[in-house]
Structure 1
């Protein structure tokens, strides 16, 4: 664990215990621009997953995190918070009140940020109405967790997009304690670094590594353009989609039916990285 201002503030506590609650220098060295965030948010989560897949990256969808309300959609930079199982000495040594790591994380959030909270279990509560009132005040871009939330109606009324495993009436502190803000976490089986792009829609939540955001966008956007063309063709000329599918970005064969269809729309190996031998990742 790394020290930070959180650790320094609690001078009366043993350094070895304080350090676990500190903010670590684990943010990505790459900052995703607002323009790139907007582009990523305009793509579907499945297109983004496909983009990472063809690059050979691990699965990027946070398992079990679903929209709390059908209207919820989010895109922003990750602010991370990690929970650990409850233990009396951890509860005693945790920085008090507003200095707790969860509130440290809250204050880092704004309209273009998504708070990603790593729970110790899918049914454990990461928070409810009074805590999350502060997130509404911060005009947060979204909240994502592999755990559950409580006070569902109030959270929906707050208006910020929320993605979680489920809802619960259980109290969170009975099971877990906030441990660290802005560290590298595992959420729903996926690694999240502070500053990564978090995109959520009705199909779930995807993490796009900040350092690879532009490449992922280029692949995913190219795929969506091609899929629209294929869908248009199959709508005009109904038939099995196997004529054009499956295809993998960067491996469309130059003389295939798909390549010939794309050529009629001006998409060729000369201007697209979706063809065999043209991948730039």
Structure 2
């Protein structure tokens, strides 16, 4: 049965789909959050479509030989069972402790996730069956590929728990935005405010870019001083801001 997960407001989702992860890191930095970019999670395929969704977390720990066995794939606590609990629209965030010599998921698991409507997979680990994974159409951000299965280096221990992924603390229902620059976490409690600030930051930077393309110098423009801020506000009012 899919896990209970608060729906992501449609307007918020659309707004974040128009905002780059680079912009989000700047907005979050202004709020004192420096550790939000998931290290080691790079797009498996380029160009990377931007994806936005609530985090559905999965957690691995180092392999222990009595637990990390092929037989464990059929256990009640398994990656297979976790996938069946993923709601449509979520982003699967897999904490794999940075292990790069054991693939957490392969093509069959990714195909099932795609079939269930999962928006993307983000992990600090790696995947296997790379050609097959790409063929599923599931957008994947990961540390690369490896042939061995997960149990060669990892033990799966559960889902919908707080996890560490790429050095970032991810809690269930936090929001993930992933694009060509990687994957960024937005804490659930800050979602509305961060989304609004990010949209405005994108608008401001679009105006600054037009000024630069018109020959304007950077000092006083980026970031804008009082004079340029007033010019921007006037432009924004004229253009419906």
- State the TM-score, normalizing by the size of structure 2: 0.88
Q: Which residue of 2 aligns with 1:82?
A: 59
Pair 267,244 (structure 1): closer, same or farther in 2 beyond 3 Å: farther
* 1:171-221 Cα shifts (integer Å, max 9, x gaps): 221111111110000100111111111111001100111111011011111
SS in 2 for 1:149: coil
Pair 31,110 (structure 1): closer, same or farther in 2 beyond 3 Å: closer
Of 66-75 and 177-186, more deviation after overlay is shown by 66-75
The alignment status of 1:120 with 2:90, answered yes or no, reads no
Q: Which residue of 2 aligns with 1:196?
A: 174
The alignment status of 1:187 with 2:157, answered yes or no, reads no
SS in 2 for 1:78: strand
Give the deviation of 1:111 after TM superposition.
3.5
Give the Cα–Cα distance (whole angstroms) in 2 for the partners of residues 165 and 76 of structure 1.
20
The alignment status of 1:170 with 2:148, answered yes or no, reads yes
Give the Cα–Cα distance (whole angstroms) in 2 for the partners of residues 95 and 128 of structure 1.
16
Are the counterparts in 2 of residues 52 and 59 from structure 1 also a CA contact under 8 Å? no
Give the deviation of 1:262 after TM superposition.
0.9
Q: Which residue of 1 aligns with 2:32?
A: 56
Greater C-alpha radius of gyration: 1
Are the counterparts in 2 of residues 32 and 210 from structure 1 also a CA contact under 8 Å? no
Task: Name the count of aligned residue pairs.
Answer: 236
Q: Which residue of 1 aligns with 2:12?
A: 36
* 1:85-134 Cα shifts (integer Å, max 9, x gaps): 11134347x97615233223211224411111111324131111122222
The alignment status of 1:207 with 2:185, answered yes or no, reads yes
Give the Cα–Cα distance (whole angstroms) in 2 for the partners of residues 84 and 240 of structure 1.
51
Give the Cα–Cα distance (whole angstroms) in 1 for the partners of residues 35 and 172 of structure 2.
18
Q: Which residue of 1 aligns with 2:213?
A: 235
Which 4+ runs in 1 deviate beyond 4 A?
A: none
Are the counterparts in 2 of residues 81 and 118 from structure 1 also a CA contact under 8 Å? yes
Gaps of at least 5 residues in structure 2 are: none
The alignment status of 1:101 with 2:71, answered yes or no, reads no
Give the Cα–Cα distance (whole angstroms) in 1 for the partners of residues 110 and 211 of structure 2.
47
Give the Cα–Cα distance (whole angstroms) in 2 for the partners of residues 134 and 98 of structure 1.
18
SS in 2 for 1:148: coil
SS in 1 for 2:19: coil
Give the deviation of 1:267 after TM superposition.
5.3
Give the deviation of 1:32 after TM superposition.
3.6
- Report the RMSD for the aligned CA atoms in angstroms: 2.6
SS in 2 for 1:186: strand
Pair 141,266 (structure 1): closer, same or farther in 2 beyond 3 Å: closer
Query: Which fold has the larger relative contact order, with Cα–Cα distance below 8 Å and residues 6 or more apart in sequence?
Result: 2
Give the Cα–Cα distance (whole angstroms) in 2 for the partners of residues 160 and 98 of structure 1.
25
Are the counterparts in 2 of residues 81 and 101 from structure 1 also a CA contact under 8 Å? no
